[in-house]
Amino acid sequence: MKLVISIAGDSLQSPFDARFGRAAAFCLVDSDTGSWTAHANPALEAAGGAGVQAAQCVAGLGAQAVVSGAYGPKAYASLSAAGIAMHLAPGNAPRTGADVLAQFKAGELSQAQAATQDGRH
């Protein structure tokens, strides 16, 4: 499965970033093989609509699922429309993208059933 994890760096070992629309980058991971690539978030400095722009980026990467800490209403709607499952790794406990991947594989992350925040950053 192609999985995107929001990160604050440029590798799977980078710190997890609990923000979706304002995450520094996204790590695209093939959860079966473990191969990954890092992609800068083009919405990081957006004046508005960061969640939608980030969702478009994630969809463009071919992701089937994404893990972040929160999803605003527009990001949630955009990801849902693209058929991308949203998983929650809440909080900012120190962990890396690799740690979050391990939690995902272990089935420890819940799936978002609705937007988790009001969308303002």
Segments forming the whole domain that contains residue 55: 2-111
CA 49 from centroid of its chain's CA atoms: 16
Total domains present in the chain: 1
Secondary structure of residue 51 in the 3-state scheme:
helix
Residue 77's CATH number: 3.30.420.130
pLDDT by position in tens, the chain (length 121): 999 999 999 999 999 999 899 999 999 999 889 899 999 999 888 878 889 999 999 999 999 999 999 999 999 999 999 999 999 997 666 799 999 999 999 999 999 998 887 766 5
Instruction: Note whether residue 86 is domain-resident.
Output: yes
| Cross-strand bridge partners of residue 68 | 88
Which is it for the CA torsion 104, 92, 121, 8, positive or negative?
negative
